[in-house]
Structure 1
Amino acid sequence: MINLPCLPICASKDSFSNTAYLLPRTFEVLLMALRRIYLFTLALVWGCMASSSSQQTAVAPPQDLQITDPGLLGSLDIEWKPPPNVQTFNECTVKYKFEYRNTGDREWKVIFTRKLKFRVGFDLSRTAEVKVQTLLEGQCTNDVEVQSEWIYATFQVPLQGKLESEVQNFHCIYHDWEYLKCTWQPGLLAPRGVHYGLYYWYEGLDHAEQCDDYIQDHGINIGCMLQNLSQAEYKDLSICVNGSAAATLLRPLYATLRLQNLAKPSPPKQLMLSTSTSEELQVVWSPPGGETPPQCLEYEVQLAEEQGKAKAVWASVSTQMETAFTITRVNQSRISCVRVRGRTNNFCADQGFWSEWTQECFSVSREEDKQLFILIPVILSLSSSLIIFMLIGQCRKR
């Protein structure tokens, strides 16, 4: 029996095995490449379709943008009409982006709306600028927002007179949320005998009204008191101060106010001080009177401390919304005075005026000082008695 070597046969098996292994791997790599090509082609086609769809569904801007002045001292009516092809977009939502500002303002105020008319406030001493565009989105645009071109419009009240003829130092304070006091000074170019009138309007009034309670100086109106303005709180209050004089044109002043930002309360009431321990003082007060909402107030507490022979200096120790505060004395200091004032807090207004300080002052000393103050009258009383006794004795000897 002949034994044939098996080396060639074994080598043939290994070669077949390697070939069988390489074929699936090559096929798998090929499938992955084809899949990538397919996905890339699909994305390219979808992008082209979306781009084509957006181009096909372009929308026109609104029409006939107009600005009219109803005579409300700065509140202007803005109106426009829909684009001509709006009825063809049944499967889309049509909206408008409306922006407005006064010339010189850095930013536009923006409103998104489906309405075709708005009333917004402007400073009539400057040019009013508005612009509107159409926004289209829905199935007709494959849920991609399509924007039209902008349309623009401006409005300017013819301003008479020179700028220097306008009233100066116009200033208003809303006292105790009860009445508004506005004051001004005549313009630099205002002639003698000038007559000023203040007009105001806020949402809820049918027309602009004139002040009926003027403040005068030598027969010239330099201020106005407005009562019953609670309906104007948290609204724009439009004001115009206009002047007239013989043969002279005067520039009117326009202003838009927010009453809550001009509020000034009266000083807090019933300020009381009590000593709980030798190192603590309890300060308690009541909110001011008037119509100021108590929940809209914050308070500042100040005290003056005497440090030995040094002069007392005011220092703020608290700004809070409560009507009580505890003061801890350090370094055996003597508090010569405590005072409190209030203003509208930031939950009710963007800003406001501080009230005047409470007028009460208290001299609060250390316990040793109190004992000294008690002993001094006793010593003086004993000294007086001794002197009287000595005088009586001398009189008897005579």
Structure 2
Amino acid sequence: MIVGKLLFTVRATLMLLLLDQSRGLECQQITVDPPEDVMIFDPGQLGFLQIHWKPPLSLLHATESHKRFQLEYFNTFQDSWTAIRTTKTTYSALFDLTKEVRVRVYTLLKGPCTNGLEVMSSRYTEVVKTPVSSGVEGTMVQNFTCIFHKMEYIECNWEKGPVQPVNSQQSLYYWHMELGQVEECPEYIVSNGVRHGCNFTWKSLPDFTDINFCVNGSSPEGPLLPAYLYLQIQNYVKPASTKKLYLQTDADKQLKLHWEDPDGRVPRHCLQWEVEHSQERTNGSHLVEKSLTREMMLTKFPMYGTKRNCFRVRCQMHKYCATDSFWSDWSQWTCHINKKKNGDGKKWNAVKVMPKDGKKS
């Protein structure tokens, strides 16, 4: 019995030694090489390119190790490098096709051969794709902007380039993840026979999604240089201006201002307000102050010697709903002129009762 156990122990020890030796030889043969066959594929989605690669052949038998990849690409819109790590061998990213596309891929390995540490290849595989677009120099459109008015419709506009051949015409194309293929502007904005913008319904462009645009064109002198752009429409909202403001004074001389929601589809909880308060003193001087609020009301104590207090408001999307947005236009002024109190000690002024210019409406 004892001899049998001893033989079993010896055999197990020999097997472990052979396994360690085999693993040691395997680790000696493994080097962390960069990926192979890196390719960039253009599916025709206005700059949304697909990047593919293969693991290095040197890691084909490293079955006990965990492999990842680090992809770096030059973001032509932000003019900086972007890096991501993934276990996949494909990735898609957005590029400006009028500029050089640069991609680098590293290999990351973690396992018994790396003592449990993740090791990155010292070299990378790089692919550089030069732009192939061509056109008449100076014809690329400029100052492309979009405004999501009241969250009801989108208006995009552009200006012609420094060079504009006679009888040239621009076209706008767009694509996003919910579209099967690229589509053309549904309704061009035209002045004097020349396209300079495009109108979209709010349903045609989804929010919190990259929308890719290309504005190109043709002319008797040749194609116009294309411009590639992208945006997310929730960052380009311009709310409507507020139409109704109400101003109340009470016995302790407080001015209480409140207003109604603007027209449109912008949620109330996504708005922040700027209130401008103008005070005209009895000595002829003026004081103007501005304040921000998330509420739709404001209480003020007018300064002593104030003859007239006027208010107006405007709004925009706040940072919790959008990265950026446009301010709405200002509302009309609502004013209160100090005078004798009524019997109940209160008086009310509503919008347009006494505009700032002093003319009754």
Structure 2 length normalisation: TM-score?
A: 0.81
Structure 1 CA distance for aligned equivalents of residues 217 and 254 of structure 2: 59
Indicate the residue corresponding to 1:242 in structure 2. Answer: 216
- 1:195 matches 2:169: yes
SS of match in other structure, 2:57: coil
Task: Give the one of 308, 331, 355 matched to 1:358.
Answer: 331
Indicate the residue corresponding to 2:160 in structure 1. Answer: 186
- 1:281 matches 2:263: no
Unaligned runs of 5+ in 1: 1-51, 372-398
Indicate the residue corresponding to 2:42 in structure 1. Answer: 69
Question: Counterpart amino acid of 2:334?
Answer: F
Indicate the residue corresponding to 1:130 in structure 2. Answer: 103
Question: Counterpart amino acid of 2:208?
Answer: Y
Which deviates more from structure 2 when the two are superposed, residues 154-163 or residues 232-241? 154-163
SS of match in other structure, 1:90: coil
Q: Residue by residue, what CA displacement relative to the aligned partner does 1:259-295 show, whole Å, maximum 9, x if unpaired?
A: 1211111013432111134432111112222221222
Say whether the 8 Å CA contact 2:50–2:92 is kept in structure 1: yes
Structure 2 CA distance for aligned equivalents of residues 108 and 314 of structure 1: 45
- 1:159 matches 2:133: yes
Give the number of the structure whose residues are more often strand, by fraction: 2
Post-superposition shift, 1:305? 0.7
Structure 1 CA distance for aligned equivalents of residues 288 and 27 of structure 2: 69
Do the aligned partners of residues 346 and 105 (structure 1) sit closer, same or farther apart at CA in structure 2, a change above 3 Å counting? Answer: closer
- 1:82 matches 2:55: yes
Q: Residue by residue, what CA displacement relative to the aligned partner does 1:180-208 show, whole Å, maximum 9, x if unpaired?
A: 11112222211222111111111111111
Say whether the 8 Å CA contact 2:243–2:331 is kept in structure 1: yes
Indicate the residue corresponding to 2:189 in structure 1. Answer: 215
Indicate the residue corresponding to 2:199 in structure 1. Answer: 225
SS of match in other structure, 2:235: helix
Indicate the residue corresponding to 2:241 in structure 1. Answer: 267
Which deviates more from structure 2 when the two are superposed, residues 155-164 or residues 298-307? 155-164
Indicate the residue corresponding to 1:58 in structure 2. Answer: 31
Say whether the 8 Å CA contact 2:207–2:232 is kept in structure 1: yes
Question: Counterpart amino acid of 1:346?
Answer: K
Post-superposition shift, 1:226? 1.1
Structure 2 CA distance for aligned equivalents of residues 283 and 133 of structure 1: 61
Indicate the residue corresponding to 1:172 in structure 2. Answer: 146
Do the aligned partners of residues 337 and 276 (structure 1) sit closer, same or farther apart at CA in structure 2, a change above 3 Å counting? Answer: same
Say whether the 8 Å CA contact 2:67–2:87 is kept in structure 1: yes
Indicate the residue corresponding to 2:10 in structure 1. Answer: none
Which deviates more from structure 2 when the two are superposed, residues 82-91 or residues 58-67? 82-91
Matches within 5 A, 1:347-386: 347-359=320-332, 361-368=333-340
Structure 1 CA distance for aligned equivalents of residues 90 and 259 of structure 2: 51
SS of match in other structure, 1:349: coil
Which deviates more from structure 2 when the two are superposed, residues 305-314 or residues 322-331? 305-314
- Tell me the C-alpha RMSD between the 2 structures: 2.4
Indicate the residue corresponding to 1:315 in structure 2. Answer: 289
Say whether the 8 Å CA contact 1:237–1:258 is kept in structure 2: yes
Task: Give the one of 284, 293, 296 matched to 2:267.
Answer: 293
Q: Aligned pair count?
A: 318
Unaligned runs of 5+ in 2: 1-24, 344-361
Say whether the 8 Å CA contact 1:168–1:187 is kept in structure 2: yes
Q: Residue by residue, what CA displacement relative to the aligned partner does 1:26-66 show, whole Å, maximum 9, x if unpaired?
A: xxxxxxxxxxxxxxxxxxxxxxxxxx998764311111111
Indicate the residue corresponding to 2:16 in structure 1. Answer: none
Indicate the residue corresponding to 1:341 in structure 2. Answer: 314
- 1:331 matches 2:296: no
Post-superposition shift, 1:125? 2.1
Task: Give the one of 108, 112, 120 matched to 1:139.
Answer: 112
Give the number of the structure whose residues are more often helix, by fraction: 1
Post-superposition shift, 1:90? 2.2
SS of match in other structure, 1:295: helix
Structure 2 CA distance for aligned equivalents of residues 313 and 54 of structure 1: 78
Post-superposition shift, 1:369? 8.2
Do the aligned partners of residues 104 and 321 (structure 1) sit closer, same or farther apart at CA in structure 2, a change above 3 Å counting? Answer: closer
Max Rg structure:
1
Say whether the 8 Å CA contact 1:332–1:366 is kept in structure 2: no
Q: Residue by residue, what CA displacement relative to the aligned partner does 1:97-136 show, whole Å, maximum 9, x if unpaired?
A: 1111245955311211111111111122211211111101
SS of match in other structure, 1:160: coil
Indicate the residue corresponding to 1:101 in structure 2. Answer: 74
Post-superposition shift, 1:358? 0.8
Question: Counterpart amino acid of 2:90?
Answer: K
Question: Counterpart amino acid of 2:95?
Answer: F
Which deviates more from structure 2 when the two are superposed, residues 339-348 or residues 102-111? 102-111
Say whether the 8 Å CA contact 2:153–2:199 is kept in structure 1: yes
Structure 1 length normalisation: TM-score?
A: 0.74
**Identity of paired residues, percent?**
35
Structure 1 CA distance for aligned equivalents of residues 268 and 204 of structure 2: 16
Say whether the 8 Å CA contact 1:303–1:335 is kept in structure 2: no
Structure 2 CA distance for aligned equivalents of residues 369 and 309 of structure 1: 22
Indicate the residue corresponding to 2:91 in structure 1. Answer: 118
